[in-house]
Amino acid sequence: MQPTSHAFKQNVHRALGDADLQKSLAFFKAGFAVKRDEAAARLPEFEALRDTGIAIKKHVLAHLDFYLERFATNVEKAGGQVHWCSTPDDGRKAVLEILRTYGATTATKSKSMVAEEMGINEFLEENGIEPVETDLGEYIVQLAHEKPSHILAPAIHKTKDQVADLFLARHKTKRLTEATDMVAEARQFLRPRYLAAGAGITGANFLIAETGSIILVTNEGNAELTQILPKVHIVLATVEKVIPTLDDASTFLRLLARSATGQEFGTYTTLATGPRRAGDPDGPEAFHVILLDNGRTKILNSEFREILRCIKCGACMNACPVYGTVGGHAYGWVYPGPIGAALAPNLIGLEEARHLPNASTFCGRCESVCPMRIPLPKLMRQWREQEHVKKLSASRYRWGLGLWAFAAKRPTLYAMGARAGSRILRCFGASRGRFASLPLAGGWTATRDFPAPEGTTFRTAWARRGRSG
């Protein structure tokens, strides 16, 4: 996927002016985040589960090489094969080689953000192999020639009317308006593709070192058909997905669905261990795992290590006021929202993704709902510091910050300046009580007025409040 994170500001303006997107986001805001809070409140041990999950992840990251080697050994014992891939290009080539070995000309796919990170669909099409997305949201964005806008709900940016028009144009049938009818229509078109596919490509929510198994969590059952019907099952996963045991998986599974969609448990939770064995009624003839690094081991040895605890639940973006206003495509790469703002600069470079860590109110909601308590505001702040040190931000911002820092280090000077500024603004804005425009505040006044202050500073008002209380 070619990133457009450098054009974040332009992307945002388009998103704010997109009436259909804003309509979809209004529905989204009233969904997952509320259900997550309700599901967490119903489980008395939810916070204890978070503590356990964090401890497991910290342990794994401290011994990642051991658990990856154990996972690979057990995959091979079960008859599968592991491909160690440093870069997305290595991963793409490994997938293509497997598909050509088995003569596959089509491949069904279940939802996988790693596949997006690798750009696998475009690559396969360029090499004469047709990828078929089977997750309903992914199927919709594939038909629309778009990218997912959310890691859980890829087509959350689409309205029902837009989907109806899309299905009419691509399926050449009558226009349906009921969601259940559109789901049935998509199923009708997808079912034959499962049977015709030469290979199935899935992601993996977790890799179990103890058994060499993968765990898939879905709500549609498409991943199960994708992995058991074709001759070969290809798993795409990044190295930090490994966990020690099946018992550990139970902890994460109880956290994942509640944090993601507010469910008690995923509708379909499936374990796959190697290819079909003698006596098995179904399953693939071959089982291949693509283990992608793509900078994760570099992150492991950096100040951003904590981000590797992420279990890709999407809770942070569900709670983020910025994501809820501009949607996922504005972020310009695979992972949107707070997790993308902290992760993308690691993977595609700060020069490309420097706007993303600045796209935060630092309200802290993302960290509070993250099941792994990843300190996302802290990580984004660290990227902001690096942006400043590397002089990637505009010079006027650096000068302004330097001027503020100069005054902030001198409390008396700062207080005098604040009082003077407040009184001046009060004097000029008293008649209307607000400013339609202000020098150096164009980002604010472009969309709303700036309220005229009361002629006093926040520190003075706070002190008065303390005395009166």
**Alpha-carbon gap, residue 269 to 217, rounded angstroms:** 5
- Residue among 341, 362, 359 at smallest CA distance from 350: 341
Amino acid of residue 217 = V
Condensed to tens digits (0 to 9), the pLDDT of residues 175-224 reads 998 999 999 999 999 999 999 999 999 999 999 999 999 999 999 999 99
**Mean per-residue pLDDT over the chain, rounded:** 93
Condensed to tens digits (0 to 9), the pLDDT of residues 141-158 reads 999 999 999 999 999 999
248 C-beta neighbours (distance < 10 Å), count: 21
Kindly list the structural domains of the chain, giving each domain's residue range(s) and its CATH number in brackets, ordered by start.
Answer: 31-294 (3.40.50.10420), 298-389 (1.10.1060.10), 401-468 (no CATH)
Q: How confident is the model at residue 231 (pLDDT cuts 50, 70, 90)?
A: very high
Are residues 311 and 371 in contact, defined by beta-carbon separation less than 8 angstroms?
A: yes
Are residues 331 and 4 in contact, defined by beta-carbon separation less than 8 angstroms?
A: no
Neighbouring-strand partners of residue 83:
290
**Alpha-carbon gap, residue 46 to 30, rounded angstroms:** 22
The first and second tokens of residue 272, run together, are 């796959």
**Alpha-carbon gap, residue 348 to 288, rounded angstroms:** 27
Condensed to tens digits (0 to 9), the pLDDT of residues 253-307 reads 999 999 999 999 999 999 999 999 998 989 999 999 999 999 999 999 999 999 9
Q: What is the pTM of this model?
A: 0.91
In the predicted structure, residue 469 carries a pLDDT above the cut 60: no
**Alpha-carbon gap, residue 49 to 196, rounded angstroms:** 42
Q: Write the burial class of residue 382 (CB in 10 Å: 0-12 exposed, 13-18 middle, 19+ buried).
A: middle
Q: Is 129 helix (H, G, I), strand (E, B) or coil?
A: coil
In the predicted structure, residue 369 carries a pLDDT above the cut 90: yes
- Residue among 227, 236, 286, 255 at smallest CA distance from 103: 286
316 C-beta neighbours (distance < 10 Å), count: 26
The secondary structure of the chain in percent helix, strand, coil, rounded to multiples of 5, reads 55, 10, 35
What average pLDDT score do residues 20-26 get? 92
